[in-house]
Structures are given as structure tokens and as C-alpha cells.
Amino acid sequence: MNTVKPSYRDSTYRSPQRQIGLPVKLFPSLFFYIKIIKVVFTASRAAKKGKYDSMDWCNSSADTVKALEETGCRLKVTGLDHLQGIDRPCIFIGNHMSTLETFVLPSLIMPHGFDLTYVIKRSLVDYPVFGDVVMSRDPIVVDRVNPRDDFKVVMEEGTRRLEQGRSLIIFPQHTRTVDFDPKQFNTIGIKLAQKTGSIVVPVALLTWAWSAGKILKDFGPIVPARTIHFSFGEPMEITGKGHEQHKLIIDFIEHHLNGWRKESLRQ
């Protein structure tokens, strides 16, 4: 597999300016998916052989960022300095908007010393080829049919992953959506942190450049005109039942989403 790719160790990251050719401008989705299919197939072959490790996953994620940028997409990432100096596994809790964050977040987080996995829906595991890559990362798989069953799985499996030294990314929403609804943002990540004594890191994101598809929701059109945003907040210890921290995470996400959308209107 690949060697070490560029990491995101400064407090912020901005995509460099690129000259985008006319064919790519006319067919950004086609250009991007040709590249991402190559990334996924390469990773899948290695995963099937048991030769796809955390470094490879981080590099595949960085390859995805490169493919997005070569398609004309721009990333703006802030708060990376908040990931520095964390000396134990933690739980990243954020809103969920598209497939993009599933691919991109490892390359933003892992260079700061985190071994990482996700809480994911079962349909991602069932995808041909891509499912092999997902399962190689030992994710926590939920069915999203019975909330009680999902809660039990996350509490048990999440505790085990954290004890093994692995950090978790949790999207507490019932489904991905461009419009953030705090009422659909549950407290499962907070409760897991409370149970395990873990710290949480808020993550706000606006990843609408990778839109939802009509046939396959996970793989829709790429819209380079929409700037991709990520922001990481300050790590939090859970106090009491975590109500205060839950509200702070929601406020963090809403504040950034509102600001980013206003910024997009001015462009």
C-alpha cells in the first residue's frame, strides 16, 4: 500500500489553489468517481489479504482529499490544534451530512496520534468492495432498526474499542441531512463517554459538495462550488449526566453551520 501522505498537523488547513481543466469542470462527478473507485479497489484488495492497516486507511483518506481537490473542491479545516496533546482515546461527536466525512475524517484525525474507527450503519458493510475496507477497520455496526439494540451494541462494543486504545467517531443523528435538527441529535456518544470516562471532541462539518444520490444515497453528484468545511472543538470532560456537554456540542455545530452558510451566500 501507500507510504505516508501529507498530514494535517497545523491548526488550520486550506486547499491550495489549483487550475482545473475544462473537462473536469464539465464532468466533476465522473472525474471524481473514476479516482475514488481506484482508491477503494486498491484498498479492498489489500484488505482481503489482511494487509490494510491504520496507516493505509489514513493514506486512502488522504487520497480522497486529493481527488476532491483535483476535482475543484475546496476544504477549509479549523481547530486541528485541539487534537494535539490528547493522550488517551476519545470520542468524536459530530453532525452527519454525506459520505464525504466517512472518507475524509481519518486523514484529518489520525496524524495526531489517534487509532480510529466508526460507529456505522450496516448498509455500508454490505456494499461490494467498499464493505471489505470498512470491515477491516473493526467498526461498530448498528442496524438502525431498534434503537435499544443499537444503544446496547454501542455501549458494549464502544467500551471494548476504547479499552483497546481506539478512538471513535459517532454521528448521533438518525440519518444524514444537510439541515441540522438538534431534536434528532441523540446523546449516545455522551452516554458512552460518561460510562467509560472518555473525553469528547465536538466536530462540526458542512460536506454538501458530495451530495446524496437518487439511486444510491451514499454516492451522489459532486458539486465543487460548495466549499467543504470541518471544525474541531475543544476536548470536553463529561460532568454529571452530560446535559451541559450535549448542549455545548449542539451549539458548536449550529454556530459553525450558520456561519458557513452565510459565508457561502457572500461568495
- Give the Cα separation of 104 and 12 in Å (integer): 15
Helices 188-196, 243-266: crossing angle, 10 deg rounding: 140
Express each pLDDT in 41-63 by its tens digit.
999 999 999 999 999 999 999 99
Express each pLDDT in 182-201 by its tens digit.
999 999 999 999 999 999 99
Q: What distances in angstroms separate CA 39 from CA 9, 59, 64, one per listed residue?
A: 23, 10, 8
Express each pLDDT in 56-97 by its tens digit.
999 999 999 999 999 999 999 999 999 998 989 999 999 999
C-alpha cell at 221: 453528484
Starting from the edge strand earliest in sequence, which strands make up the sheet with 75-78, in order?
13-14, 75-78, 228-232, 199-206, 90-94, 166-170, 115-121, 140-142
C-alpha cell at 57: 486507511
Q: What is the pLDDT of residue 11?
A: 86
Mean pLDDT of 144-148: 81
Q: Could you tell me if 209 and 73 are in contact, meaning their C-beta atoms sit under 8 angstroms apart?
A: yes
Mean pLDDT of 136-152: 88
Q: Could you tell me if 203 and 49 are in contact, meaning their C-beta atoms sit under 8 angstroms apart?
A: no
Q: What is the pLDDT of residue 64?
A: 96
- Give the Cα separation of 64 and 39 in Å (integer): 8
Residue 51, classed as helix, strand or coil, is coil
Helix extents (H) in the chain: 22-26, 28-48, 54-70, 100-109, 122-126, 130-136, 147-163, 188-196, 243-266
For residue 212, pLDDT beyond 90: no
For residue 4, pLDDT beyond 50: no
DSSP 213: P
For residue 129, pLDDT beyond 90: no
Q: What is the pLDDT of residue 2?
A: 44
Q: What is the pLDDT of residue 145?
A: 74
**Global pTM value:** 0.93
Q: Is 15 exposed, middle or buried (0-12, 13-18, 19+ CB in 10 A)?
A: middle
For residue 239, pLDDT beyond 80: yes
CA atoms within 13 A on the CB side of 205: 26
- Give the Cα separation of 14 and 212 in Å (integer): 24
- Give the Cα separation of 119 and 195 in Å (integer): 17
